[in-house]
Amino acid sequence: MREVAIIGVKNTLFGEQWDRSFRDLVVEAGVGAVEDAGVAGEKIDSMFVGNMSGGQFVEQEHIGALIADYSGLAKNLHVPSTRVEAACASGGLALRQAICAVASGMDDIVIAAGVEKMTDVPASKASSALAAAADREWEGIMGATFPGLYAMIARLHMHQYGTTSEQLAEVAVKNHYNGQFNPIAQYRSPITVDAVLNSIMVADPLHIFDCSPITDGASALILAPADIAHEYTDTPIYVKGTGQASDTIALHDRRDITTLEASVVAGRRAYEMAGLGPRDIDLVEVHDCFTIAEICAIEDLGFAKKGEGGKVTQQGETAIGGRIPVNTSGGLKACGHPVGATGIKQAVEIVQQLRGEAGKRQVDGAEIGMTHNVGGSGATAVVHILSRNR
């Protein structure tokens, strides 16, 4: 297996972008990443695009070909383009497929992109589209919503471990604080614990400020074999580990409702491949689709003991400057959550941090970073470990 490096990155703005289409967004991200890498179109061997539901959000399928076409890679170059779908983990899985393509020796220069255009439909339709990531026949039919499923995780976590609404709110407060330093973030203003606790209840105990927003956005990465990465950039970032795992589609079938076993196993697989453990990681982008999800994630990935995710957050250990900075980008909560793009955006953030290009949100001396992307209520998880050093 060949070692793989990331040689180019780009995020579009994240937010409500009524003036920009699905294809505008993904082409901007793709072309931007290609420019960042300084690679010619003729060199691109393949592309993988994470997209949850073009069908429901913009009534467009056949996303792979569309994007290759409008990126100028189809008509003359006929670059193979594959759409990857795993609900909100679509981007992370697209990255993993791109890594596999390079590592296997099949392809050299590969684009991993992600995109979602969510505001061309009313918010109610967007929520309904997202609900398709849960079990439509046995959860959705009973009136389950995504906030509702994560609220049930939160309720049990509070019952078993004494986690409080204030601790949940601290996740949102931290991520909004970080988001103000991220020029692409959807929300760039700090909030307070009181503001979270006084915001309207969506699914008890989760308030609206415990939930990530609906977002338009796209992100892209360029991958190359590590051996030739220096031909394109002085600061290649190396892929040290990748892990993916599946679990039951429905929350009710999980062994332990407050543990995302897919996260635990995907994390373990990535750690084993990298020969590293949680103490070696300098910063991590986790899948905080809801505040409780970040608390579960830092426990499942070994950054906090089971049940203590809320406590360590409240103590500031996950803030920039803390023991293990979590979601320096602002996370899904403040940076925004264009579902197919999120897993790629997480890797863009880690690359920018490891290159030392993260501005006011820079983690000093960051050498090794992790991304953690979840589909649905935890039926898919994918984890990547990236490093400045080969």
Partner 1 sequence: MSVPRFWRKQIARYNLVGTYCKTCEEYFYPPRNVCPSCRREGQIGDFKFNGNGELVTYTVIHAAAEGFEGQTPYVLGIVQLEEGPRLTSQIVGDPKEMHIGLKVRPVFRRLGQSGERGMIYYGTKFVPA
337 catalytic residue (yes or no): yes
Question: How near is the Cβ of 182 to partner 1 at its closest, in Å?
Answer: 27
Name the residue nearer to partner 1 (CB basis): 212 or 352.
212
Per CB under 8 A, which region of 54-62, 95-103, 154-162, 221-229 contacts partner 1?
Answer: 154-162
Binding mask 102-141 for partner 1 (x = CB under 8 A): ----------------------xx-xx--x---xxxxxxx
Q: Dihedral (C-alpha) 88, 94, 96, 97: value to the nearest 10 degrees? A: 140
247 contacts 379 by C-beta, under 8 angstroms: yes
Catalytic choice (157, 207, 287, 337): 337
31 contacts 71 by C-beta, under 8 angstroms: yes
Name the residue nearer to partner 1 (CB basis): 40 or 142.
142
Binding partner 1 (rule: CB under 8 A), the pick from 32, 54, 147, 241 is 147
Instruction: Annotate 301-353 with DSSP letters as a single string.
Output: TTSS-TT-HHHHHHTTTTSTTSSS-B-TT-HHHHH---HHHHHHHHHHHHHHH
Residue keyed to tokens 């803390």: 322
CA 91 → CA 95, 159, 244, 344, 347, distances in Å? Answer: 6, 33, 12, 5, 10
Residue keyed to tokens 């332990």: 256
Question: How near is the Cβ of 203 to partner 1 at its closest, in Å?
Answer: 5
Tell me the residue type at 379: A
Considering CB under 8 A, how many residues would be counted as binding partner 1? 36
Q: What are the residues whose beta carbons fall under 8 Å from the beta carbon of 60, sequence distance 6 or more?
A: 22, 54, 66
Question: How near is the Cβ of 144 to partner 1 at its closest, in Å?
Answer: 6
230 catalytic residue (yes or no): no
Binding mask 234-273 for partner 1 (x = CB under 8 A): ----------------xxxx---x----------------
Residue whose C-alpha is closest to residue 162's, from 265, 297, 306 = 306
164 lies in the site for partner 1, by CB under 8 A: no
Name the residue nearer to partner 1 (CB basis): 132 or 276.
132
Residue whose C-alpha is closest to residue 310's, from 179, 169, 150 = 169
Question: What is the footprint of partner 1 within residues 184-223 (CB under 8 A)?
Answer: 200-206
Binding partner 1 (rule: CB under 8 A), the pick from 100, 121, 132, 156 is 156
Question: How near is the Cβ of 85 to partner 1 at its closest, in Å?
Answer: 21
Catalytic choice (88, 211, 289, 296): 88
Residue 95: both structure tokens together: 């990255």
Question: How near is the Cβ of 53 to partner 1 at its closest, in Å?
Answer: 15
237 contacts 5 by C-beta, under 8 angstroms: yes
In sequence order, what are the beta bridge partners of 238?
Answer: 5, 387
Give the active site residues. 88, 337
Residues that bind partner 1 (CB under 8 A): 124-125, 127-128, 131, 135-145, 147-148, 151-153, 155-156, 159, 200-206, 250-253, 257
